[in-house]
Amino acid sequence: DDEPSELRPPTSRAQSKSRNSSVNGRIGITADDFEFVRTLGEGSYSTVMLAKHRTTQQEYAIKIIDKNHLRRFEKLPTALAEKNTLVRLGAGHPGIVRLHWAFQDEWSLYFVLDLARNGELQSRISRMGSLSTMCARFYAAQIVDALGYMHSKGVIHRDLKPENLLLDDAYRIKITDFGTGKILDSGAERTKTFVGTAQYVSPELLEDSETSKSSDFWALGCIIYQMIAGRFAFQGLSEYLTWQKIKKLEYSFPDGFDEQAKDLIERLFVRDPLQRLGAGTPEDNNDMQALRAHPFFSSISWSTLWTDSAPPLE
């Protein structure tokens, strides 16, 4: 029997309704425990629905992944990566979508996630054109803080972009979509699979397809640039031409771009992954603390970052 257990049909009547993996120790939960209210988003192999837990009335976002699709497109590793990284991250950080339960039935896998009611940061940027420097600073700080936690747990995201940054009720960031996530085994600091989205891909990934924590820092630079400028830092007429620009570090800032933000981005858009701000070690004074200490963040109160109210989106 070489089919992965996730995709095997139920073997007995008792199992046929659903099988559970206990993320939080509670077993027995099934799709019947939820009222599916409406679709929140559709991905290439999954649908995310707003769902209400019938007994607690608590609302969640449930990601429903079609098993036939997983089989046909060999996407099981993606689904497993998503579940395993989310389990590893646990309930440990307010800036990361939490997995409450995972279960399955004959047709689908279900991931019960924190609901982020205010949608993708991408739609906010599109709607507003760009964000104020104050707003961009707040979101950049929340991303930095969540990245610090994620990396401390040995998880790299590998596809950070504004579509994967959701906003909750209080307009705080929740990082989602860990389908490209990677758990670094103790010792392994780098990994060699190509994943990601053209505009946010780091030069080392294009050149020798190696990713490490540093690649998430490159993407952070791309995101900060995009929030303030309202456009991609690196964009060509094709994916290939975008990659050429990334490899040549060919980008420029629009007039009036905040000077401290510019300095921060220049320190993230560095070819050597270990020289990127925050991506080094405490020994060379280039760990997360160095990134938090950058002047762009001088007005940020790191200890109240997740209880302070978000600046108005403007």
Residue 104 host element (H or E): strand 99-104
Residue 262 assigned ligand-binding role: no
Nearer to ligand ADE, 83 or 267 (CB): 83
Q: Which residues of 208-219 are buried (b: 16+ CB within 10 A; e: fewer)?
A: eebbbbbbbbbb
Binding site for ligand ADE (CB under 6 A): 40-41, 48, 61, 97, 113-116, 166, 176
- Residue 66 main-chain phi, psi, to 5 deg: -75, 125
> Are residues 157 and 178 in contact, defined by beta-carbon separation less than 8 angstroms?
yes
Residue found by looking up tokens 């929030």 in the block: 227
Nearer to ligand ADE, 61 or 279 (CB): 61
Least CB distance to ligand ADE at residue 48 (A): 4
Q: Is the sign of the CA dihedral 11, 14, 17, 18 positive or negative?
A: negative
Angstrom distance (rounded) from CA 309 to CA 27: 36
Least CB distance to ligand ADE at residue 218 (A): 24
- Residue 165 main-chain phi, psi, to 5 deg: -110, 110
Least CB distance to ligand ADE at residue 50 (A): 7
- Rounded to 5°, angle at Cα 301 from 134 and 125: 30
Rg of the chain over Cα atoms, rounded to whole angstroms, equals 20
216 is catalytic: no
Catalytic residue among 114, 159, 177, 216: 159
> Are residues 135 and 162 in contact, defined by beta-carbon separation less than 8 angstroms?
no
> Which residue's beta carbon is nearest to the bound ligand ADE?
61
Least CB distance to ligand ADE at residue 121 (A): 12
Residue found by looking up tokens 């160095």 in the block: 290
Nearer to ligand ADE, 96 or 147 (CB): 96
Nearer to ligand ADE, 205 or 223 (CB): 223
| Catalytic residue list | 159
Q: Which residues define the annotated binding site? A: 63
Annotated binding site for ATP: 63
